Each structure stands twice: as C-alpha cells, then as structure tokens.
Chain A
Amino acid sequence: MSTDDLNCDEFVELVTAYVDNALDNHSRRRVQEHLATCTGCERYLEQIRRTVAELGRLPADQLADQARDEILAAFRGWHSGQR
C-alpha cells in the first residue's frame, strides 16, 4: 500500500462529496481506486444511495383543506384588491 491509499474511515467521510460530484480529480481518483478493491466501502456507498432513494419516496403531506381554502380565499382577495 502506498501512502496515497484511502482508508475506509476516510472514505465514509468523503462519501457525500463523492456522490455530489464535489471532489477534485485527485480525491475522486483515490476514492474510485479504493472502491474498486473494498467490499465494505462499496456496500456503504450503495447503502447511502439507497438511503437517498428511500428518502425521495417518502409520501407527501398535503395542507389541511381548511388552511388551503383560506389561502385560496386570500389569493382571490389579493387579486381583487389589485384591480
């Protein structure tokens, strides 16, 4: 191992920058080289991606009807006040 090799405990702190494409070329290459040989970090990365995907699938809450109606009424009032 050369001194340039990435450790797993370093990888887990770079994972967000890696996924967001925010690493410089040198760091990005170190991460890719590490991932190519490390099952644990490959799995960690996959689990972070899965976490992000699951977060994106959370169901949406809508406003209660009463609050929505009041906002729409305010919109009508705003528009009639404009003219």
Chain B
Amino acid sequence: MAALRAGDEVTFTAVLDAWSPGLLRTARSFVADMHTAEDVVQETWLAVLRGLDRFEGRAALRTWTYQILINVAKARGQRDARVVPESSLREEGPTVDPSRFQGADEPYPGHWRTAPDPWPTPEASALDAETRRQIEAALDRLPARQRAVITLRDVEGYEPDEVCQILDITAGNQRLLLHRARASVRAALAAYLNPLSNEEQW
C-alpha cells in the first residue's frame, strides 16, 4: 500500500492486472456486453485513484474497489436495461426439478426417481472449450445478483465474508444466491454432458 501511495507504477500495474479480470467478469453481471464492462472497469479504476490516499490495507482496497465497481455497473446496467435480457430463471422454490423425485404415493417419497447420470471423468473434459462455452452461456442466463455472487465466489475464489461486503448482502442471502446459481450451472452442465438423459434445465 505504501508503494502504491508513493506512486510506484510497478506495484500499481501488478494490482491493476491482478484485479481487472475479476472486475470485468463481475461487471458483466450487470451490463449487457464486454465493451460496456470495460468502460465500467475503467471508470472504477479512475474512482479508485481519487480515493487511494485513504487506504491502509490492500484487502480493504480490493473490497472497496469492487464496491465502486458494483455501483458503477448497476448504474450503467439500469441505463442500458433494455439490452439486458430478462432472465426467465426462478429466484425461489426448488433448485432441482421436483419431478426428479418420487411423489407421496411412491415407495420412497422425496427420493430420486433415478439418480443423476454420471458425468464423463474430469480428465476427459477439463480442457474442453465447448464445456467452457456452456458454462459461460449458463452464467449469461443467471439473474444479475446470482451471477455476481457465483462469479466472485467460484470463478474468482473470494471468501464469503468479502463477497457479502462487496455486494452489501447478508451471509444467508449470499449463500442462497450462490446455491441457486450453482444449481443452474450444474443443470446446464448436466444437460450438455448427458445429452441423452432427460434432465432438463430447471
């Protein structure tokens, strides 16, 4: 932090390059395209520079940088609201299609009718570009807050506490949004990896 405040460009460049990918991805939760996301990230960094003197620790600086990003991105997203497709995904209720489970008149109510089909082994698909495209497409379909949470938690690997601070949400809400988002992405992967099974994107 001292190096940053002293104007050390090497340190600043390292921070800029380390955080910008996560900032870009998170901005995408609220704006329609990559170009707008870049504008949002640039505006965020300029705002960060204006407040840099106030920061003692790098962790606090990162959280604050993301908080600025969220505000800028939400403002841009609202302005461009017409170009962000309205998500059709449910924001409440079960995260797995209830018809996958046995009903009250069956032998084991609430248990799987048939277990989820196994996926091909990770070794076979880990580098599969199409798998990644499917995941990106599933992220594109998520409601903004779910997408922001799963991006910060699972793509960027931030701890729940920091995600709650960044998005100004409670721990319970953070987990609920993450839960719904993960279930949707898993269902999209299942539909792609087991195309012949009847698992639907719920």
Closest Cβ of chain A: how far from B12's Cβ, in Å?
Answer: 5
- A59–B175 Cα distance when bound, in Å, is 24
From 15 to 72 in chain A, residues with beta carbon under 8 angstroms from any chain B beta carbon are 15-17, 20, 22, 38-41, 43-44, 47-48, 50-64, 67-68, 70-72
Q: If the complex has contacts A9-B96, A15-B179, A43-B118, are A62 and B20 also in contact, measured as CB distance less than 8 A?
A: yes
State the main secondary structure of chain B at its contact with A: helix
- A53–B125 Cα distance when bound, in Å, is 12
- A68–B41 Cα distance when bound, in Å, is 10
The one of A7, A47, A54 in contact with B111, judged by C-beta atoms closer than 8 angstroms, is A7
A2 close to chain B: CB less than 8 A: no
> Using Cβ atoms and an 8 Å threshold, which residues of chain A touch B118?
43
Q: If the complex has contacts A48-B182, A72-B12, A75-B49, are A9 and B101 also in contact, measured as CB distance less than 8 A?
A: yes
> Using Cβ atoms and an 8 Å threshold, which residues of chain B touch A55?
135, 150, 154-155, 185
Task: Beyond the given A56-B157, A58-B132, A75-B49, please list 14 additional residue pairs across the A-B interface where CB-CB is below 8 A.
Answer: A8-B111, A13-B179, A17-B179, A20-B175, A22-B175, A39-B115, A47-B190, A50-B119, A51-B185, A55-B155, A58-B135, A63-B42, A72-B12, A76-B9
User: Using a CB–CB distance below 8 Å, which chain B residues touch chain A?
Assistant: 6-7, 9, 12-13, 16-17, 20-22, 24-25, 34, 38, 41-42, 45-46, 49-50, 52-53, 94-96, 98, 101, 109-112, 114-116, 118-119, 122, 126, 131-132, 135-136, 150, 154-155, 157, 160, 171, 175, 178-179, 182-183, 185-186, 189-190
